[in-house]
Amino acid sequence: MSADNALKVQMYREMVLGRLFELRAEQLAHRGLVAGSIHLGIGEEATQVGACRALAPQDYLVPTHRTHVADLVKGADPGRLMAEIIGRAAGYCGGRAGSSHFADAATRNLGVQGIIGAVFPVATGAALAQKRLNSGCIVLAFFGDGASNQGTFHEAMNLSALWKLPIVWVCDNNQYGMGTRFDKTSAVANVADRACAYAMPGCIVDGNDVLAVYEAAWEARERALAGYGPTLIECKTYRHRGHSTFDKNTYRTQEEINAWMKRDPIALFENVLRGDGLLTDDLVTRIADDAGRAIDAAEAFAVQSPEPAPAAVMEKVFCPSEVK
């Protein structure tokens, strides 16, 4: 199904907000507020917003370390997400998780699997639960091109197709696993080419075209709900930044980066919406201002949140037993 006009503008807003969120998180990292690093999906907003907007609120999301924008679309509060990224007590996981392990149960965000490839079995199990519970919900799991070479990919693709589980596999193919280009690690040109080995539909979409991603994800969700099982959607996109905030971004040519910057998903979508008469200069400014204020508030909330007490790390190692 194609997005209606209101949804199109909403997706544009979410892409802008997501971009500003990540730019701010990057600043906080450079200011030394983030222990370790974060993995930014700047340039991949269309993939994340398009796929997540195809979900119903009760559907489950399995994000990755690079899908902060998807987390926000699913409903995460930017302030609490920012607080988690900088390891504060008010973060979603109390500062235990950071960006690479973030989860938000209230919005049915099952959390990042920090081990690349662990997403496949866990997401399969979440989909198995939906099928067994006859919940009418699906699971959408993101993974990167790099993850698709793990052995777990094979196990989970096979099982999810064999059992016709309600899951949409979305490969956020940004062409690089850390500093290594996909064609140096994969015997096939496209991740979606592998779908046929699992009797599963695989499709390649322009990951910088939010409407194309939305339509593909919508169709895959419908298919999953109808009991036909999983779909593998490969979104071809590009990260403007390096792998993480530690990354000096030296393994890609400036030409290549520039070519992709010209296909910035937000600029592309803005042009489409202006052409459709859905965006005006005024509205673009207002959306940017609104997003800026929201991100200022998120940052203020995060940096004002206290550090967790070090000894709190001893809590929640085991869940209290319900056994009487």
C-alpha–C-alpha distance, residues 259 and 306, integer Å = 42
**Residue burial 105-131, b: 16+ Cβ < 10 Å; e: rest:** eebbbbbbbeebbbbbbbbbebbbebb
> According to the binding rule CB under 8 A, does residue 67 interact with another protein?
no
- Residue 138: what are its φ and ψ, rounded to 5°? -120, 170
Question: Which residues between 81 and 110 bind another protein (CB under 8 A)?
Answer: 92-94, 96-97, 101, 103-106, 110
Q: Which of 279, 248, 253 is nearest to 266 (CA)?
A: 279
Nearer to another protein, 97 or 287 (CB): 97
The binding track of 112-151 with respect to another protein, each residue x by CB under 8 A or -, is -xxx--x-xxxxxxxxxxx-xx-----------------x
C-alpha–C-alpha distance, residues 172 and 237, integer Å = 7
> According to the binding rule CB under 8 A, does residue 275 interact with another protein?
no
CB of 320 to another protein, least distance (A): 7
Helices (H), the chain: 5-30, 45-53, 68-74, 78-85, 119-133, 151-162, 210-225, 254-261, 265-275, 281-304
By CB under 8 A, how many residues form the interface with another protein?
Answer: 45
Interhelix angle for 119-133 vs 151-162, to 10°? 20
CB of 318 to another protein, least distance (A): 5
Question: Which residues between 282 and 321 bind another protein (CB under 8 A)?
Answer: 316-321
CB of 93 to another protein, least distance (A): 4
Nearer to another protein, 183 or 315 (CB): 315
**Contact set with another protein (CB under 8 A):** 60, 92-94, 96-97, 101, 103-106, 110-111, 113-115, 118, 120-130, 132-133, 151-152, 155-156, 158-159, 162, 316-323
